[in-house]
Amino acid sequence: MNSVPVVKAECISAVVERAHQRSEMGDYAMNMMNVIHSENKDLCESICFAIAAMNLDDRSNTCAVTVMGLMYDAIKTQIESDELREIFGD
């Protein structure tokens, strides 16, 4: 069974910096929602349902979806990093 990796601080920093450099928060949130939806529809829809149930304003919704995207992106990036370390060593 696959488990969620421990995401290291440098991975989180890299993901946040990459997201900040590539697009505005709203664009990043939308792009990541599309990625998550294409890879894990049930997860995306469930999290979006939970966010919608909070009855947040538009800016807060965008922030919540952005955080969801950053978390998903960081986990995937850490998995890729760990796989590369296994292949090529430290």
Output the tens digit of pLDDT for each of the chain's 90 residues: 678 899 999 999 999 999 999 889 889 999 999 999 999 999 999 999 999 999 999 999 999 999 999 999 999 999 999 999 989 976
Residues 82, 5: Cα–Cα separation, whole Å: 9
This prediction has a pTM of 0.86
Would you list the domain boundaries of the chain? 26-83
Integer CA distances (angstroms), 54 to 4, 48, 51, 83, 89, in order: 26, 10, 5, 37, 44
Q: What is the pLDDT, as a whole number, of residue 1?
A: 62
Determine the pLDDT at residue 90: 66
> How far apart, in whole angstroms, are the C-alpha atoms of residue 36 and residue 83?
20
